Amino acid sequence: MDTKFILPEKEMPSRWYNIQADLPSPLPPVLHPGTKQPVGPQDLAPLFPMALIQQEVSTERYIDIPEEVRDILKLWRPTPLYRAHRLEKALGTPAKIYYKYEGVSPAGSHKPNTAVAQAYYNMKEGVKRITTETGAGQWGSALAMGCNFFGIELKVYMVKVSYFQKPYRRSLIETWGAKVVPSPSTDTQCGRAALAEDPDANGSLGLAISEAVEDCVGREDTKYSLGSVLNHVLLHQTIIGEEALKQMEMAGDYPDVVIGCVGGGSNFGGIALPFARDKLTRGKKTRLVAVEPEACPSITRGVDVYDYGDTAGMAPIVKMFTLGHTFAPPAIHAGGLRYHGMAPLISELQRLGLLEARAYHQNTVFQAAVQFARSEGIVPAPEPAHAIRAVIDEALACRESGESKVILLALSGHGHFDMSSYDKYFAGELEDYAYPEEKVREALTHVPQV
């Protein structure tokens, strides 16, 4: 009875899957934040290298993964697919639970899949320096590793409250050779303005984006990088789902349900888009379940409108499910799920009726995480713990119905940097924030008129 399904290195996918080739109609255009007209490649050129801008709008079905990128991904890929025998037994379920584990990357999450690719394309176009923002540090650390491999200087604006309260991912960023400053910083105009207003400002992801963008557009040698939401980011993450498809075949199964957490959408897109292809082109009936925090439920409670990608309103305007770009989610421990909007590609799946979405409170999520850790050993990060809650609920439903469904879980990372959240859970100090209906209603009055 096999526990793990391991692809040989030579079977690591050589192409990313681009779902834009298979969508019934093109995505709604992205609009310029100033003119509110559709953006062209030249509008994005100050921020991104041309190769990534082309991937953003490409309708080619498959895009080759460059050899130099594959060589680095092989340091931890293909990642293992597990059959969760022990969890199944603990739940007494006839369901068959599989999980695809991205925590084996040196950063402990799925983020390096796109970080390495983005660093590569920047290097190829002669970029010497990249700026980015990071909240708790998952993205900043992944990009630090990616830039290090290609000799690119990286400056990370890290939300100040995390910089001081969660110093371990900050140290990881520095270990891989990047520079990290607390945001608001004195290095940018908008940072200095924020500090002038409140010298003790805690910072926010929105402001950190503004600082990173300002630091980029002012310099010839510098580009900017984003770790989720955008089409090219989700494209790079499809290697997860492409591997999972091959591994499910090794296991002799095909999933009835694919379950992943969603924040910006890169983890969920990574596992789900190749299965969405099978739904669109092969008539597969697989359910794709996106799991959100009740405190920040952009698919389950958001509206499908044009909105800014960032809090400050400097980023392009995209059609997506959103809670309003000025919405500041409660301080839940799954920092990676605290984003007001949803990736355009995931939003499109929702419009097409290809998705199910559900939302959970923190305590039931950590309860599931602990049950998983005590069954399977791996201690999950708080973000994928949301998906684990949904997996357990599906499996318990199978126990009731007697169905032997095949469930595939995207386990996007380990929780070794998040143990203080487990501490709070055990101490009974985790708050189950109610859905902030009033704040969302207010935020939605600020979406741009287009």
Q: Residue 116 or 296: which CB sits closer to a second copy?
A: 116
For residues 288 and 400, the answer to whether their CB atoms sit within 8 Å is: no
DSSP output for 28-77: PPPB-TTT-SBP-HHHHTTTS-HHHHHHHH---SEEEPPHHHHHHHTTTP
Q: Residue 261 or 369: which CB sits closer to a second copy?
A: 369
Counting Cα atoms < 13 Å in the Cβ hemisphere of 173 gives: 29
CB of 307 to a second copy, least distance (A): 36
**Coil, strand, or helix at residue 279?**
helix
Q: Residue 109 or 347: which CB sits closer to a second copy?
A: 109
Helix (H) or strand (E) holding 157: strand 153-159
Q: Which residues of 327-366 are buried (b: 16+ CB within 10 A; e: fewer)?
A: bbbbebbbbbbbbbbbbbbbbbbbeeebbbbbbbbbebbb
Q: Give the integer Cα–Cα distance in Å for 221 and 410.
A: 37
Q: Give yes or no for a cis peptide into 13 (omega within 30° of 0).
A: no
In the block, residue with structure tokens 């923002």: 133
CB of 386 to a second copy, least distance (A): 17
Q: Residue 422 or 435: which CB sits closer to a second copy?
A: 422
CB of 286 to a second copy, least distance (A): 26
Q: Give the integer Cα–Cα distance in Å for 336 and 261.
A: 10
CB of 111 to a second copy, least distance (A): 13
Amino acid at 64: D
CB of 410 to a second copy, least distance (A): 18
CB of 2 to a second copy, least distance (A): 6
Q: Residue 121 or 176: which CB sits closer to a second copy?
A: 176
Q: Residue 144 or 320: which CB sits closer to a second copy?
A: 144
CB of 74 to a second copy, least distance (A): 4
Q: Residue 423 or 442: which CB sits closer to a second copy?
A: 423
Q: Residue 99 or 308: which CB sits closer to a second copy?
A: 99
Q: Residue 9 or 125: which CB sits closer to a second copy?
A: 9
Amino acid at 43: D
DSSP output for 332-362: -S-GGG--SB--HHHHHHHHTT-EEEEEE-H
Q: Which residues of the chain form contacts with a second copy (CB under 8 A)?
A: 2-4, 6, 8-9, 71-72, 74-76, 82, 104-106, 108, 145, 148-149, 167-169, 171-172, 174-177, 370, 373-374, 376-379, 414, 416-417, 419-420, 422-423, 426
Q: Give the integer Cα–Cα distance in Å for 338 and 331.
A: 8
Q: Residue 363 or 420: which CB sits closer to a second copy?
A: 420
CB of 151 to a second copy, least distance (A): 10
Helix (H) or strand (E) holding 224: strand 222-224
Enter the tokens of residue 275: 């299965």
CB of 204 to a second copy, least distance (A): 24
Enter the tokens of residue 223: 């580009």
For residues 191 and 140, the answer to whether their CB atoms sit within 8 Å is: no
CB of 394 to a second copy, least distance (A): 22
